[in-house]
Structure 1
Amino acid sequence: MKIGIITFWSSKDNYGQLLQLFALQTFLKELGHEPFLIRYGFWKDDLISKLFKEYFLLPWRIPRAIKNKITERKVYKSNIVHERKFADFLSENILYTEQVYSTKELIQNPPAADCYITGSDQVWGALNPNPIFFLQFGSKESKRFSFAASFGDGNSFLKDRYIYKITSYLKGFDMVTVRDYKALEICKKAGINGCVLFPDPTLLIDMSNYNSLLSSNPGTDKYCLVYMLEEEQKTKIDMDDIAAFVKSIGIKMIYVASQGRFDKYIKQYPTIPQFLSYVKNADFVITNSFHGTVFSIMYHRKFAVIPKKGGNNTRVDTLLSQYGLQKHIAKKLPMIIAAYNDIVDWNLVDDINQKKKKETVALLKKVIGEE
């Protein structure tokens, strides 16, 4: 079966974005299907219309939009200077459409597929629900479902007005699966009572698939990998305290930052294979990233995840609760120390993953069949 995937794919510094796409394609291929990424370029849409809808009608968003644009420009310049070769990874490991589609182009002339998938990642996190990420295109005969989709964290706008907009979209799906408990609640409000909690695709493929990507071992010295996203003030523990902790345990710090994380500390800018190697060989991982947490678990690394301020951190809470690893959420510095000293039964974690994979495969076969 030909399966067209709609998800985020254009980042130059978000490792989880491309790794979840790699995992989803790998997982579907293992089931005998022919998945491909539909390169949706929402930036090709009419800018004036977009600005009107997002800012003129909602003027309270303008200050935040200006701040975000300044940060985006800074990130853009940084990614030019510190090239992480994400485009190379995409071309070497992902099947995708030659064309990059605007919304209008995708609705008028979509690539043919027997099935369309939206997700994983925070594909439903926009203030105004984007019909493309709700699969409002393509033949009516094609199957449609979401794969571990997420609405994102801390989106207070998910109220009745938003629910009303997405209800008609979701009712056209053959199956709705989401990544966290918050998304389950939202879908139930939209009348989708058959919504299912699905594992992120990065948890569903064998580690040999990731290991085949790995670059060389970063060295023999012990180190703590610190992988942080976004501005420092958005997380509950600052970098000075993290750096002091790493120094106190007598190992070096390898610091990888993405998506607008700028501070005084020396950073590394690895490719995706190098990033995986950093996680695999780390003595300890400190992160505020969902996928940083996922790969710490997959590689059986000791880890601590720092929650965001003001967000409900649903994705990480949902993930860790399924493994009984909630004590690895570190809201204060002593909790990082506790996470570092915790002994995890990784065999139990692997058993849970295998059970989730079997359940997921069985449900997918029921909905889209097996080639």
Structure 2
Amino acid sequence: MENYGGIIQCACLASFLREQGHEVVLLRRAPDRSLPMRLAVQMLEKLPGQNIRGFRQRARELAQNQAFIDAFVGPASPLLYSSDDMARYARKAQIAGVVVGSDQVWRMQYVPKGGEGDYFLAFADASMKRVAYAASFGHDTWNYPELTAQASALLQKFDHVAVREKSGATICRDVFGRDSAVHVLDPTMLVDPAIYERMSPPAPGDQAPYLYRYILDDTAEISAITKLIKAALPAQTQARSTILTDSSEKPTIERWIANLRSADFVITDSFHGTVFAIIFRKNFVTLVNNNRGAGRFYSLMTELGLADRILSTAEQDRAATLVANPIDFDAVHDRIDRWREISRQFLQQALR
């Protein structure tokens, strides 16, 4: 939970669960580390003038958004460094059920070292209800054969399973023998969009028209497409950018939401950048990011009738055309509303 989408989807899922009358606590699984290693990491997070292995930058970015996390995610466990830690905390807190989801929680390369089984709820005892909501594998295939037997056995113990991508349901069926996975919305679309007014109240200063570029992995091709799109927009349109992988100071979550909500056009290679362009009814282009998992984009956009807004870096000639083609957001949101009802019913029934 270290990026905008990861934090906000967690906050949205927690908000929905609380609306249903549940008490919610976030379980914070950390990588398996010895005590000396934990102390070393804590030192690197605080020591100025360095950013060894990115510890200090991640700690600073997390601290910048801690007030938001406290307000919208809510209570959380201390860092838990092993399955035993997870199990002990769950018993002590008298947790009755665990929901795992959503943002690429089953993409094992993103899971804390040693926590692979815990993201399939290995720590949960037999008395706890086990639910996956909008769990994502990140890719259209399962690429961890050494973990297949463990994940398959654990998945059979789940009471209910829902995935974020259609390909996830196929993986559950064909790889793990679980053929009842439901295809549901990401938590950011599960909730009433009015929640984003509370997360990021409108502020003055966002009135001038602008193009917002939210990019995870910037390239020369993306910059070229940006120039083509900007040239096709009205001359007074300004440009703003957030590049996740550069070293510049990043906006807070509140500011990031506001940047997307007030933009006149959005260019992004991010799944949640795409989601919020849709939520806020912005004309947009999604640049497919194969390294981070293209299937996530196609799964969502095809369901919503927006597959034509996906652009590869080799399709620069289509960029200006998309600027001129408005999106029928009433039709898009009609689809979201129907899918939202299915998704809500899944969670409500799963947690009874």
Scaled by the length of structure 2, the TM-score of the pair is: 0.84
Going from structure 1 to structure 2, the CA distance change for 1:18 and 1:82 (only over 3 Å counts) comes to closer
Change in Cα spacing, 1:279 to 1:77, as seen in structure 2 (3 Å) is same
**C-alpha separation in 2, matches of 1:312 and 1:81:** 27
Q: 1:25 to 1:310 in 2, by over 3 A?
A: closer
- Structure 2 residue aligned with 1:270: 251
1:327 aligned onto 2:308 = yes
Partner of 1:273: helix, strand, or coil? Answer: helix
- Counting matched residue pairs gives 327
CA offset at residue 39 of structure 1?
A: 1.9
Distance 2:253 2:79 in 1: 23
Report whether the alignment pairs 1:25 with 2:14.
yes
Instruction: Tell me how large the CA RMSD over aligned residues is.
Output: 2.7
CA contact (8 A) 1:129 1:165 kept: no
CA–CA distance in 1 between the matches of 2:17 and 2:290? 36
**Identity over aligned pairs, percent:** 23
Question: Is it true that 1:149 corresponds to 2:149 in the alignment?
Answer: no
Letter in 1 for 2:300: L
Partner of 1:239: 223
Partner residue, 2:328: 345
Runs of 4+ in structure 1 over 3 Å off: 43-48, 72-84, 309-312
Equivalences for 1:1-371 in 2 at 5 Å?
9=1, 11=2, 14-42=3-31, 44=33, 73=52, 75-76=54-55, 85-103=64-82, 104-110=84-90, 111-127=93-109, 130-153=116-139, 157-159=143-145, 161-189=146-174, 190-215=176-201, 216-229=203-216, 231-233=217-219, 237-243=221-227, 245-247=229-231, 249=233, 250=235, 251-258=237-244, 260-261=245-246, 269-309=250-290, 312-331=293-312, 332-369=315-352
Displacement of 1:141 in angstroms is 1.2
What is the alpha-carbon distance in structure 2 between the residues aligned to residue 337 and residue 316 of structure 1? 21
Report the secondary structure of 1:237's partner residue.
helix
Instruction: Render the CA deviation track for 1:144-179: whole Å, top value 9, x for unaligned.
Output: 0111011113767244x4433310010010011111
SS in 1 for 2:134: coil
Q: Is the 8 A contact 1:124 1:149 kept in 2?
A: yes
Which amino acid letter does the alignment assign opposite residue 113 of structure 1? I
Q: Secondary structure at the match of 1:34?
A: coil
CA distance in 1 between counterparts of 2:148 and 2:36 reads: 25
Deviations 1:202-239 (A, max 9, x none): 0011121111122414422111110011x335xx9332
Does the 8 Å CA contact 1:237/1:306 hold for their aligned counterparts?
Answer: no
Using structure 1 for the length normalisation, give the TM-score.
0.80
Q: Secondary structure at the match of 1:304?
A: strand
* CA pair 291-73 structure 1, distance change in 2 beyond 3 A: farther
Change (3 A) 1:313 1:47: farther
> What residue identity is the alignment partner of 1:238?
I
Cα distance between partner residues in 2 of 1:366 and 1:77: 42
